[in-house]
Structure 1
Amino acid sequence: MTRPGRSGPAAALVLVALVLAGCSSEDGAEGGTPAEPSADRPTGTSAPAEPDSSDPAPAQESEDGDTIAPEPVRPISVLGLAEQRHRGDRLRLGAVREQTAAYTSYDITYRSRSSLPGGGEESYTISGVLNVPTGRGPFPAVVLAHGYIDPDVYVRGQGMTRERGYLASRGYVALHVDYRNHAESDDDPDYQRRMRLGYTADVINAVKALRASPDVPVDDDRMAMFGRSMGGGVILKALVVEPGLVQAAAPWASVSSLEADNYRQFIAGDPSDAAMVSHGTPAQNPDFWRDNSSRPAFDRITEPVLMVHGRYDDTCPPPWASATQRALVAAGVDSQLAWYEDGHAFGPAFNAAMDRTIAFFDARLA
């Protein structure tokens, strides 16, 4: 299939979108079918979500009075990831990338550790970029999850440079996570077969590494997550996996919260994604793809959510955002959806959407 393109200040790169796919904040994806809401207007509807929660069912009794054990949680699944213990630490400041009157930008690494279902632990060193506002702090902080960029061409901090600088200039520590298998991060040879759930673990552990760091003046009780496109899907899964981790979250131009949608849009027929389809397609193994979706477990989410989407997004179709918003509200999540007259990359509406997002963080992290 033809994948969405990406433009940047240096050169155009052809990107491949995967199961969590989508483009970075610099992607060029204009046109498409507009969504029904008007621009710059939050929507919150209580229309029922399509799926029910997939949390493990409590034990029930049979007609004979015998106890029926609930189905076990699938190890490769969103709820399987929730059963693991996640620890982030050893955040190290590296070279200074940029210094302005408003902030200093550093190359960083941290350790992302997670327990394994069969026992033991996996540990990866993850690279990234950290912007720290000028001043003593402590500052509120936002962990950034970028959109899909082919790991073979991805460079440290790529994909959310605008957002990172915008946040830091407004007084937020901004940590851009490269994810495993990207830039200078360690490689996980099994990351595709495990449906890239490791990206979600890396974002969760980035929050914990920031809190554990003695070198970054972060207010532990004022933290948020912000993801674009594929990163929006990563953020939604992080909210399900570890409720209460942060105080707010903002998925922008997010992929679908049902992985079957992402399969049809980005994966079907692409041989590079063979490891992800080794479990079968959604038609062949619907339970597996559902279990690797965030939507069925939205009732675990405790944080307020601001979704931001362009009415002309032809990479992550606007109906996906509407369906995710309906499901969030039906699950009892404090969620709103803001629409803008823009495409996937957010060009003309970028500043307005960022101002709205920062106002949301200001209110929720006060």
Structure 2
Amino acid sequence: MKVTVGPAQYIRDKGLLEVAGTYIKNFGKNAALIGGHTSREIIEVSLKKSLEDHGIFLEHSTWYGGESSQTNIDRLVDELKDENIDVLIVTGGGKAIDTVKSVAYQLNKPLVAIPTIAATCAAATPISILYSDDGEFIGIERKSKAPDLVLVDSEIIMKAPVRFLIAGIGDTLAKYFETRSSVKKATPTALNQTAIAIAGQVYKTLLQIGEEAVTSVRTKTVTKELEDVIDTIILVSGSVSGYGGDDCRTAGAHAVYSGLTIFPEVHQTYHGEIVAFGILAQLCLENTSEDEIKALIGYYQQVELPYTLKQMGLINLTESQWNKLGEITVTIEDMVNMPFEVTPEMVIEAVRRADQIGNTMLSPSAVI
């Protein structure tokens, strides 16, 4: 049995970036920063100063490439493999972090993650999600490593556009619904039952204070509710798959997400927003009552998550497109984790039913 539960160390505080060097100095004297254009712009000046204060040189600052793709992973490995680098530092969102987790694995280097948004649990898991260079889901990459250190500056998260936090709530809600489904295929153990309990607490926390956390970002105020939701999205939710392992993996919601990425129209919708709709489709696959689905949509309305295809840019799919969605979605690795066999026809029916229920609750101004 092998269990990887989150990063080796997780630190979250307001203004943490100013003292980042205090923690990173333990990994060596030469560092490379990899991330998105915006995220590097946000942290590089303060990070470089803090590193220099502790005798650490920032040898490189590099764009990760825009997609968590094999092309970008291979390019970065090739660029850095002969360089004198002691530690890799990644900054940005889930795709940047996943890319560099795979790079760090191949280069066998310590990894420090500095998320600039709270949109996924990528910083707390040992796997990476691979996409094509065009953003279409490919699969789960296990030649990846959990960061040795995660530094979360809650002020940076608070300053990010609110949609990122909302997407993080959507992605994290799926932990509860997917875990309770995927674990049905497993023999109960201390580990997977702990994962279920954590997933339940994650769901409870988001229902209780998710809206307050969103308000905190809108009002540009770091509150306890915001920091609790940040920790829930980035760290606590990652521990669900850490403890549960293959017994508690992503399931129908993420499979529907991956299937929907075949349509370019949804590429402007964030990962967690699409996953949130995927939860509704999974509930329909499970023959959940309409009242329960509508209750969840009521929460989506509070935090402004999408609950129809139209809100994600998908209008009037052709019969051919519907068939392609069904056929591709059932091939996604996540769908195998459902406790029953799912056919393309079942996917199509579930997505249509979720969209239909959502449309009954759609107001004219409800657009993502």
Shared fold (TM-score greater than 0.5)?
no
TM-score (norm 2): 0.29
Q: Which has the higher strand share?
A: 1
